[in-house]
């Protein structure tokens, strides 16, 4: 039992009892503050996740809008081609009236056929673009709906967060002032020990109840003598295994 530290053993059991109660009170207050912080700590993360999700959706939306514009531009180009080809056909038709021989007639005929094919091709391209625009439009609708839904969700989360911040600020202030009072009633060396144990403990527990002759923090067994002394509030006992301060089970009775 080299690691066992028994402090303030010369003090009366009444004085030790007060210290144990104050330490337990300090722990209870700190655990409540920890809970408030955890509660607040999750919502900001959810809010920022939603914000980045919406940002990504907006990027996707602007990509789809760009694609739509490209198809619309392509339709305009093809329509212009049809206009140009139609004008050429008119021109060739009137030229064909004035031909002097078969060779000229055939040459113009070839041009006419070529422009007719150009018109057909352009019409095909327009049809394809129309299909693409419709499909793209469906995608745009879906993304817009998703953005609306996520924004609604974000608004809820933000208002939840601001409500929690408002409500917990008050509670936290009250807890902090209670904490100050509790801290004042304990020797500073004991407060320092309490704080350093709390820092090294994952769950922030520095003070735990003794639980059937075992440490309530790490479940390491405590000798019958120490267990009795703790119950009788005769000593401030630090768990040999985890270093936590052990208090009687009925400390909050």
Chain residues binding Zn ion by CB under 5 A are 215, 217-218, 220, 239, 241-242, 244
Tally of CB atoms within 10 A around 15: 12
Nearest approach in angstroms of CB 55 to Zn ion is 47
Q: Which residues contact 42 (CB under 8 A, 6 or more apart)?
A: none
72 forms beta bridges with: none
What dihedral do alpha carbons 191, 192, 195, 196 form, nearest 10°? -150
Nearest approach in angstroms of CB 246 to Zn ion is 8
- 3-state helix, strand and coil shares in percent for the chain, rounded to the nearest 5: 75, 5, 20
- Quick one: 182 or 197, whose CB is closer to Zn ion? 197
Nearest approach in angstroms of CB 195 to Zn ion is 17
- Quick one: 17 or 241, whose CB is closer to Zn ion? 241
Nearest approach in angstroms of CB 219 to Zn ion is 7
- Quick one: 81 or 244, whose CB is closer to Zn ion? 244
- Quick one: 75 or 242, whose CB is closer to Zn ion? 242
Secondary structure, 3-state, 125-160: HHHHHHHHHHHHHHHHHHHHHHHHHHHHHHHHHHHH
Nearest approach in angstroms of CB 139 to Zn ion is 59
- Quick one: 75 or 247, whose CB is closer to Zn ion? 247
What's the length of the chain? 253
């Amino acid at each position: 039992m080299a690691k066992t530290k028994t402090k303030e053993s010369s003090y009366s059991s009444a004085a030790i009892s007060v210290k144990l109660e104050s330490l337990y009170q300090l722990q209870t207050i700190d655990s409540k503050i920890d809970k408030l912080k955890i509660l607040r700590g999750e919502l900001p993360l959810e809010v920022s996740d939603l914000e980045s999700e919406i940002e990504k959706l907006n990027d996707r939306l602007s990509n789809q809008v760009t694609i739509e514009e490209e198809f619309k531009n392509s339709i305009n180009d093809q329509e212009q081609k049809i206009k140009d080809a139609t004008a050429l056909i008119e021109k060739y038709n009137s030229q064909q009236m004035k031909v002097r021989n078969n060779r000229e007639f055939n040459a113009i005929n070839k041009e006419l056929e070529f422009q007719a094919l150009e018109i057909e091709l352009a019409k095909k391209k327009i049809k394809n673009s129309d299909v693409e625009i419709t499909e793209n439009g469906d995608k745009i609708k879906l993304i817009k709906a998703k953005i609306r839904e996520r924004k609604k969700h974000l608004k809820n989360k933000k208002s939840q967060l601001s409500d929690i911040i408002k409500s917990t600020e008050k509670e936290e202030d009250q807890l902090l002032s209670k904490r100050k009072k509790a801290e004042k009633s304990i020797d500073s060396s004991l407060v320092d020990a309490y704080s350093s144990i709390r820092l090294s403990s994952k769950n922030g527990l520095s003070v735990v109840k003794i639980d059937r002759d075992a440490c309530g923090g790490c479940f390491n067994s405590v000798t019958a003598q120490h267990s009795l002394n703790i119950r009788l509030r005769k000593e401030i006992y630090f768990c040999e295994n985890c270093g936590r301060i052990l208090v009687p089970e009925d400390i909050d009775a």
